[in-house]
Chain A
């Protein structure tokens, strides 16, 4: 698959402190890539380097083959982004904001503005002043703005921040659609594992300026998610489960096993019932970000 964004050993030092300690990764066409990490892990700094707001101290960033440092205009043309909040001009209407940014791109026809407005579903309010928009509408206008120049890579910093549950779900679906149908590379950052899990194909986990792991979401979850069995009596159940899956231990009244596919869970359940064990609940639990971190970093906590 085609690589659209390549980051090679990027470092950033501010004063004497190394904020970003050598990042390397590459994104492919049509994938949603998640940046996961607690606040202060360096997600936003990294994103700002990817869009040219901050110059890396060393290392290289390539967008569609263009060096971001040396061929800035050519490289940035392929990037659409929202960094942190979608801050637009409140005293202009949504439409005027889009026109404003369209004028900064090489030849964007009015039809393209209309197109992105429809894409984000803002037709009804587009001629109102941005001052009167809700946060969700601003977020959508921000995305419209990012999509104007038909970018190859879309970079969104905490895209669901401040949205209500419906808005979050819409945003998720929207991002998936962009990646699947328009074949965009989408990079999103988040500090919520649940969000990354639902949206992304691959994820990079950041901590203290370093990527500690890059993997597919599926793989990572399989490794880290747990299944909790509330069963009685526990010792019989444990024997049965040991034959079918890996038992990790007991916690309170639960038996903890690794994450398994649906068929495996169902089969285990059937076996338990056959043996006369009462099963009151089977629950798959994602590790909290904190657990994941402790697991991945070997005891290092979020601070």
Chain B
């Protein structure tokens, strides 16, 4: 089995996929670091001070103004109210939510990439794992070895998990290393709030407590890894079912993007919460943002994702071991 996994990893590495992904991450992180840097500067100019308390007060006033303006939807109003309460809580308890530093950047980067960017990167690897063997004809050589079919597929699945780990790891490391050049590398022990839960219209702060940023990051990276694995498994299934890597990518891309769009408009379509695409933003539960549909919780989303992945895995193995290869 180790030999088989080694083979699969060799193929992924020699196709230069991992290298390209690391390069994409490096470029994007640099881009966002610069954008973040610019944003901090403009805020500083506008407020005329670097004091974060004034900044936060300003943000609260902004939010209040937006709340009072007419023509905003009920959903958006609800979200803003929750956000306002949260910001007020930070101010009252003397906590700087935007404390700059590489760990903070890393946290934000992971929170923002969990829904689309990370799944896309995982998709690049997982999409052609099986379909490229089918379209290249090498599947015939693989399946005529004295190795059972499920073992071959398992080795590919393990290779997918290893690559996903590499991707999440490199996103974390690169976002830390590159943004640190601008923002400094400190801030691991910054206290952050977590344990928010949203009940109806209210932000429930009963369970709120402080944890150091490094712990917070570990939780978020763990969740990002989980989401990546689920997306990887779904892509893997499509890769088994379809011969064309382009088709696999197209379908996954459509699903992921529709998820991003749906999240912002499905609050009244309740059964949409069983779709995997709207459940990808797991980190929102940790930072206390309103979920797209009422009643969605962290454990609910994780269960939905796990079931999707499990079903995909069963279908993959069933089809791969039974199928006639032409």
Whether, in the assembled complex, B210 has its beta carbon less than 8 Å from a beta carbon of chain A, the answer is no
Whether, in the assembled complex, A83 has its beta carbon less than 8 Å from a beta carbon of chain B, the answer is yes
Whether, in the assembled complex, B24 has its beta carbon less than 8 Å from a beta carbon of chain A, the answer is no
With contacts A55-B324, A103-B6, A104-B7 taken as known, whether A74 is within 8 angstroms of B136 at the C-beta atoms is no
- Please determine whether B146 and A105 come into contact, CB atoms closer than 8 angstroms: yes
From A48, A73, A81, contact of B325 by CB (8 A)? A48
- Please determine whether B146 and A52 come into contact, CB atoms closer than 8 angstroms: no
Binary per-residue interface labels of chain A (64-75) against chain B in the complex, 1 for a CB within 8 Å, 0 otherwise = 000000001110
- Please determine whether B7 and A87 come into contact, CB atoms closer than 8 angstroms: no
- Please determine whether B146 and A76 come into contact, CB atoms closer than 8 angstroms: yes
- A145: B residues at CB distance < 8 A: 141
- B137: A residues at CB distance < 8 A: 84-85, 87
Binary per-residue interface labels of chain B (282-326) against chain A in the complex, 1 for a CB within 8 Å, 0 otherwise = 000000000000000000000000000000000000000000111
Binary per-residue interface labels of chain A (43-58) against chain B in the complex, 1 for a CB within 8 Å, 0 otherwise = 0000010011111000
Whole-angstrom CA separation of A40 from B143 in the bound complex: 23
- Please determine whether B144 and A51 come into contact, CB atoms closer than 8 angstroms: yes
- B7: A residues at CB distance < 8 A: 100, 103-104
- Please determine whether B140 and A73 come into contact, CB atoms closer than 8 angstroms: no
- B6: A residues at CB distance < 8 A: 103
Whether, in the assembled complex, A7 has its beta carbon less than 8 Å from a beta carbon of chain B, the answer is no
How many chain-B residues does the 8 Å CB contact rule pick out?
A: 23
- Please determine whether A76 and B144 come into contact, CB atoms closer than 8 angstroms: yes
Query: Nearest CB to that of A85 among chain B residues?
Result: B137
Select the stretch in A88-96, A231-239, A267-275, A278-286 that faces chain B.
Answer: A88-96
Binary per-residue interface labels of chain A (88-115) against chain B in the complex, 1 for a CB within 8 Å, 0 otherwise = 1111100010001101111000000000
Q: What total of A-B pairs shows CB separation below 8 Å?
A: 75
Whole-angstrom CA separation of A81 from B144 in the bound complex: 8
Whether, in the assembled complex, A203 has its beta carbon less than 8 Å from a beta carbon of chain B, the answer is no
Whole-angstrom CA separation of A83 from B140 in the bound complex: 7
With contacts A87-B136, A103-B3, A103-B4 taken as known, whether A53 is within 8 angstroms of B146 at the C-beta atoms is no
Instruction: Among B4, B140, B326, find the residue whose CB has the most chain A CB atoms closer than 10 A.
Output: B140
Whether, in the assembled complex, A161 has its beta carbon less than 8 Å from a beta carbon of chain B, the answer is no
Query: Nearest CB to that of A79 among chain B residues?
Result: B144
Whole-angstrom CA separation of A235 from B16 in the bound complex: 77
Whether, in the assembled complex, B11 has its beta carbon less than 8 Å from a beta carbon of chain A, the answer is yes
Whole-angstrom CA separation of A125 from B101 in the bound complex: 53
- B148: A residues at CB distance < 8 A: 72-73
- Please determine whether A87 and B141 come into contact, CB atoms closer than 8 angstroms: yes
- Please determine whether A73 and B147 come into contact, CB atoms closer than 8 angstroms: yes
- A77: B residues at CB distance < 8 A: 146
Whether, in the assembled complex, B46 has its beta carbon less than 8 Å from a beta carbon of chain A, the answer is no
5 tightest Cβ-Cβ pairs between the two chains A and B? A87-B137, A104-B145, A103-B3, A77-B146, A53-B325
With contacts A88-B138, A91-B15 taken as known, whether A104 is within 8 angstroms of B147 at the C-beta atoms is yes
Per the 8 Å Cβ criterion, residues 194-246 of A in contact with B are none
Query: Nearest CB to that of A92 among chain B residues?
Result: B14
- Please determine whether A87 and B325 come into contact, CB atoms closer than 8 angstroms: no
Whether, in the assembled complex, B35 has its beta carbon less than 8 Å from a beta carbon of chain A, the answer is no
